[in-house]
Amino acid sequence: MAQPRTESVTLTTDRLVLRAPRESDVDAVFAACQDAEIQRWTVVPSPYRREDAEFFVRDLAPEGWRTGGNRIWCVFERGSGALVGSQGLVLRPHDPGCAEVGWWAAKEFRGRGYTVEAARAVARYGLRDLGLRRLEWHAYVGNDGSRAVAEKVGFRFEGTLRSYAEQRGVFHDAWVASLLASDPA
């Protein structure tokens, strides 16, 4: 079962480095989250202000790692060091064997398989290293890009949750899929 951590964990893949956000990432996070698609499909504030990027880097991510309840990574291309996206793993307080995953990708890096590669690393970390039995992915209905990533990672579609996911005061229908520790790799 997952235990709280007091320090962040860095994950690596062939092309990527996933690490906790740092102060030096504020500008890149701010720039990436100006994208209308990130604001449309995620819970980031809209409009996205510099203060929002500062909160993400200085408060949300460090507190999530400190408590172990919300592990947030910035995803970087190994060769260039460019920010390609973000990944998150949020534990469920009512079900410590389960966590929700989520991601966003900077628009200039979409379509290269980076989000799939990063999500696989996060899934391995959650299921193997943390010993979780279930990962859940949720997305607003219509977010076909996120759904394609989830399917490529191996998440199995479970259905549509009506009026489930709140975004800026409005509830939306959401897709749900899961990946179990017992699923074939």
* 185 residues of the chain, pLDDT tens digit each: 445 555 899 999 999 999 999 999 999 999 999 999 999 999 999 999 999 999 999 999 999 999 999 999 999 999 999 999 999 999 998 998 999 999 999 999 999 999 999 999 999 999 999 999 999 999 999 999 999 999 999 999 999 999 999 999 999 999 999 999 999 86
**What topology is assigned to 11-135 in CATH?**
Aminopeptidase (3.40.630)
Alpha helices, H only, 33-89 = 36-41, 50-55, 61-67
- Asked if residue 97 lies in contact with residue 133, where contact means CB atoms within 8 angstroms, the answer is yes
pTM flag (> 0.95): no
- Judged on CB neighbours under 10 Å (0-12, 13-18, 19+), 121 is buried
